[in-house]
Structure 1
């Protein structure tokens, strides 16, 4: 039976999980890579499909693909 709860209907449109953009800093040689997030945190992710210095999309702890290297701007309002 379909739900009439509008919030549940809205949530069903959004895919679970989120993608994060990071920069690969090192390939570990064991199927994992070291990545630096935009806030400076360093994490280990599955995959070695891109070279060090490249921006990547990380989905559920795994490299999902190469991301474009775009500038980051911050604006305080």
Structure 2
């Protein structure tokens, strides 16, 4: 039995998954939310949210609401 695999799937297996991030929605335009990150950056994500909602998002997609907890930034 041949153990041939799809080269693309092998390559995808070597790459890490996109990180889960948290941020606050600052605006929504055309179904795309601008999400402000704790460090001050802004990212774009698609999904259901309202302005001032805290959300979890990954790879440009809002995954759900995030709790409003204090954020501690740690420099590495």
| TM-score, scaled relative to structure 1 | 0.67
Three-state SS of the structure 2 residue aligned to 1:35 is strand
Aligned length: 62
Q: 1:75 to 1:38 in 2, by over 3 A?
A: closer
1:41 counterpart = 2:41: yes
Partner of 1:25: 26
Shift of residue 39, structure 1, vs aligned partner: 0.6
- What is the rounded CA distance, in whole Å, between the counterparts of 2:73 and 2:28 in structure 1? 30
| Aligned residues: CA RMSD | 2.2
Q: 1:50 to 1:20 in 2, by over 3 A?
A: same
Partner of 2:61: 62
- What is the rounded CA distance, in whole Å, between the counterparts of 1:40 and 1:75 in structure 2? 14
Which structure 1 residue ranges, 5 or more long, are not aligned?
Answer: 1-11
Which structure 2 residue ranges, 5 or more long, are not aligned?
Answer: 1-12
Partner of 2:17: 16
